Amino acid sequence: MNSQNWIGGEWGTPNGGSHPVYNPSQMTEVVGTVFHSSTSDVRQVDQAARTALKAWTATSLPVRGEYLYTMARVLEEHATEVATLSSREMGKPISEMAGEVIRGVKLLRYYAGEGVRTNGSVIPHSQDHVLQYSTRIPLGVVALITPWNFPVAIPVWKIAPALICGNTVIWKPSEMAALTATLLTSLFAQAGLPAGVLNLLVGEGANVGKLLVSTAAVDGISFTGSTKTGMAIAAVAAERNVKYQVEMGGKNAAVVLDDADLSLSVPAILSGAFRSAGQKCTATSRLIVQADILDPFIAALREGMQEISMGDARDSATYLGPVASAAQYAKVQRYAEMAQTEEMVSQDINVTVDPAQGYFVAPHVIMGVDVESPLVQEEIFGPIATILPAADLDDAIALCNQTVYGLSASVFTRDISRGFRFLEEADAGMVRINQETAGVEYQAPFGGMKHSSSHSREQGTSALEFYSQTKTCAVYFGS
């Protein structure tokens, strides 16, 4: 399969260069070719989205909702096809990828339902015979820049609320997920969306992504990716007075207190740390364990890791697949080499594949690391976790908050009062008791604090706040 642009309702192959895509599980397999856009493609997509805006904004909310219901139906019908391609393109285990596609279906249906829900409120007025009310109106043209690690769910949780709010969309996926993006767009096109309402622009972030943010006449920008890129986008958008939303990195902690149920906490921690090879912004990377139970926790962790299977992403039995690309492999390996100099707690897992045939990185759990170490402070985006002992709850919360990030955090305890205290004091946008740090339900707000986010939220009804603006109306109807 090859990538294409979808601009103004027409397919086209851009001519700004290309690169082959290799299966991360089997590097000799070519999955397809990604063709990159050029400056002229950015101008064309900008015009197409702007041209379609007036008619789409005028389309009633219930009708917009019906388009999203159709998109959900088509995606569900092709769920296996999408999951298979995505797993081959970026290496997420097929069992996880299948679940992600169904999440995309549910997101589309959730936002389709907004087509018949309340879209404003009546507000009292100090003058008699005046009807005052508020209503939500679209931002206009929005640019959506999405990452490779959730090639279906993250694009859908941006596209769906953007469309239901009446915006037209320019979608710039990661070039590492461009084949999946092309397939998704071809499926969404079957829903009959008017030309120019949804546009796909494939290309490198440093090139077309930068142009999209800095020169295109967009009214909103939503980005998910690295903190460095997100902060740069925020600065440019603020200077242009373009509404922006950036979701960035995480260094998420799971706190295990001395009364924790290890049969519950260890599987949740392993899932949070090693599913998707740790390539989630909400992945567990710091294990903060009360010192009194450090030894039994490590014993339970070692036992749990023996049940982990690392293998080909296309195998439904695989727990931990490869990292997504050669560049990602090189990055994670640098941290893995750093980890080798520390005290290794466990690396004992089942391996069902020749690691040399793909971008496989064995999971690492290490301890004895200084709290200021890059292994503790930097987002690795790979299957590497550190254990930090804590004296008590106060010390555990302090360690949890000792990071520039604030996306997700969990505490494992049987004491509900200590659990609620953690929820109150942990500096993270998503906090949990006795659950893993990774993931959040699609109907709930998603986002972080500190350097993890621009302080807005995605998903749930919170997404509608970003993709719309409020207009206050007043009508005097007296004689």
> How far apart, in Å, are the Cα atoms of 204 and each of 18, 39, 192, 439?
10, 12, 28, 27
Judge whether 437 and 252 are in contact, CB under 8 Å.
yes
Q: What end-to-end distance do the CA atoms of the chain give, in Å? A: 67
Residue 340 CA to its chain's centroid (Å): 30
d(CA 253, CA 395): 13
> How far apart, in Å, are the Cα atoms of 412 and each of 250, 260, 262, 440?
19, 5, 9, 17
Q: How many residues does the chain have?
A: 479
Sequence letter at residue 92: K
> How far apart, in Å, are the Cα atoms of 259 and each of 390, 399, 416, 454, 478?
14, 19, 11, 36, 67
Rounded to a whole number of angstroms, the CA Rg of the chain reads: 23
Sequence letter at residue 166: G
> How far apart, in Å, are the Cα atoms of 167 and each of 44, 81, 118, 145?
17, 28, 18, 15
Judge whether 222 and 248 are in contact, CB under 8 Å.
no
d(CA 402, CA 405): 9
Active site members:
247, 281
Sequence letter at residue 304: G
Lookup result for tokens 């077309």? 208
Judge whether 375 and 386 are in contact, CB under 8 Å.
yes
Helix (H, G, I), strand (E, B) or coil at 430: strand
